[in-house]
Amino acid sequence: MLDSEQAAGLAQRFLEEEAGPGDVPLALVEGARAQVGNVYYFDCQSVSYLRSGDLRDMAIGVGCVAVDGETGTCRILGAVESAALNLF
């Protein structure tokens, strides 16, 4: 089983590598993490918003990154799916 720091590293790498051309670069929100069972969840937001705090830079419709603690598989949840988990 991965620990929280290993999962965070995988989540950040996933955000850096999986964002295709033209996508808004995303990064993990510091301190916004949770574990439910063997899945780690990390809130993420646009790099621009995290730097500026300007609502115009906010990524809309993006949820958190889920990392399977057993396999290391990562995926981005949509905003509705993330909200239903009520983690952050």
**pTM, to two decimals:** 0.90
pLDDT of residue 22: 60
CATH code, domain with 55: 3.10.450
Tell me the pLDDT tens digit for each residue of 69-84.
999 999 999 889 999 9
Cα gap 70→32, rounded to integer Å: 21
pLDDT of residue 62: 85
Counting as low any pLDDT under 70, the low residues of the chain are 19-22
Cα gap 53→51, rounded to integer Å: 6
- Written as one string, the DSSP assignment of 18-84 is HPPTTSPPEEEEEEEEEEETTEEEEEEEEHHHHHH--GGG---SEEEEEEETTT--EEEEEHHHHHH
Output the CA torsion sign for 74, 79, 81, 87: positive
Number of structural domains (the chain) is: 1
pLDDT of residue 81: 93
Tokens describing residue 5: 């720091």
Which range marks the domain in which residue 49 is found? 4-85
